[in-house]
Structure 1
């Protein structure tokens, strides 16, 4: 028995061809649309870099670049002879960053070792969200925490410390970047195959020996990369140092007195202390460009370390 032929109306044929044409049009448009969306970040970066270069060029047309790079005095608001030596701001930034790394690296790596090698699945589910919440606290809150909690504790132990100093914000910046080091380092340690751990246990190694002599060296590329990224984050920190570090650019090694970092100076000028078009106004672009170079070098170093010392398993 022959099956009846299915008939398709003219309207259905037209609709089917229209749908095919629409799908073909979408297939042609979507790659271009996705490319434009992907290009937004690149174009934004180019725009920011272009703005920095142009405005920094205007600053250097008024201030010699040699004075900016090698000068040891930063007094842009001086009435008689303003000076624009970037070194005091760089030193202040490095003080905060150095203290932060001394705090964050031991705590972050120790936390990563515990979460990767010792913590049970239940404990890991509790601690990991707490670390993520710590990373999400606004930096202005950290700043007031440093000024109103950490600084009084330090002054009670060491009365010579000023209200505004480098130690307190450095410690708090270290606390802020600890989750970054801990999380990325734990991911690197978790990528180490369990067969390496089992082989070490079979040879009689203890859990601590496996963690320190097997897992840690095997994950060193990820750990170092996370540390370098944390350093770049500490260099670019703004609100903690603006609130708790003070606004005194100093080219010395003292940690107990008021200092000023590159980001804190940008905040000071951006709040309206300088008029548009003045040399002080353009100085924030020169400082911002210097900060951009610092963070760019640190990010490139992190990528190099990650690729150079990456272990393939």
Structure 2
């Protein structure tokens, strides 16, 4: 499932290329036809992410709420920017790139020659982003045609004169009234990139410190804190050297605060790089390798049975609320 950094990058893509423009909204698949008519032809006035959910507001006070879930993704095409480091992101966003690939030349700030930051994507360009991002050129005789024909089961198509975004397979996709948006937001825990930093920290600490639920489950609870998924959960706990089964109320307050601050740091880094980078202190060569491959990017996630990078103890995996939890039983005790 996409984690918070991906959804923030999606929102930035919309902020740059769709906000302020009239948007033709359709449902090529047909399943969202009624909702599409409510916002078709309206101007998008804001795009924001809160945790794993995104809210696209239109000038008739209606909002398109999208939760990608396990299988959802956005495909972008047109005159789009290919990097979200500044004002936006581009591409297909949803799942982590399981093959560990990264777009050619991608760096933290587009400093590499030919990096995505410096590419002005022509209309034949297609940018696909899950939790990672890839840039490709359309092939065939229709490669320069805009907009491109919808491919596959497109739930929603958002189209301006210069950009198009196709949504596939979301868990939630609905048009909401302002009161419904407020209700959706009220169910979500603080997001470091949305909430006031100090208020968000205090809210997170207070919630965790009154819960008997294991901290490994609390970090995945979107009502406790927004945006953390399976990867960030495992890595945050390792970085804190914290046993995932420790009840929240027994985690020292200062350590809970450190978790929030580290999540803030990792989330910002994820938005900047487009990768869930969780290892610090890497030399330039190791850093580039980590950007290119998940195997070199994480401390414990997806490393069951492999030696801990710190102590050499085999990394352990267990099922926790239906998700795989990874930790080092020696470092995290």
Query: What is the TM-score with the length of structure 2 in the denominator?
Result: 0.21
Q: Bigger relative contact order, structure 1 or 2, given CA contacts below 8 A and separation 6+? A: 1
Structure 1 or 2, whichever has the larger Rg, is 1
Please identify which structure carries the higher strand content.
Answer: 2
Please identify which structure carries the higher helix content.
Answer: 1
